[in-house]
Amino acid sequence: MAHYCLTSTVILSLTTNGDTSGTFNLSGSIRRQMKADLSVEDGHLCNMGKMIEELEGKLRNQLDQVYFGKTKEMVCTLRPSSELLPMALAEARKS
């Protein structure tokens, strides 16, 4: 058995300065720590890889919910829906 301690940090910085979107700046970071006691039968590299993948998934979900979710909520609150409709149509045409 081995005791593992993984610390991971994600730093996000998003800035825009466009005619249609205006000036916008969003930045922040998320730091999480994971500890586990695992068997070394599979080797240290396998154990660390599994821990990294698990923590990465959790960080992605938190980033999506906290930063992007809150940003979308704020944009929808601050901008009237009549302004959002043409922007949504323009985005749909690009896809």
Extents of the domains making up the chain: 2-94
Q: Which pTM value belongs to this model?
A: 0.59
Domain 2-94's class?
alpha beta
Question: Is the pLDDT higher at 66 or at 56?
Answer: 56
Token code pair at residue 29:
């970071």
pLDDT tens-digit profile of 1-49?
Answer: 999 999 999 888 878 887 776 787 878 888 899 999 999 998 999 999 9
C-alpha 91/C-alpha 84 separation (Å) is 11
C-alpha 4/C-alpha 39 separation (Å) is 10
C-alpha 47/C-alpha 28 separation (Å) is 29
Choose among 33, 44, 45: nearest CA to 8.
33
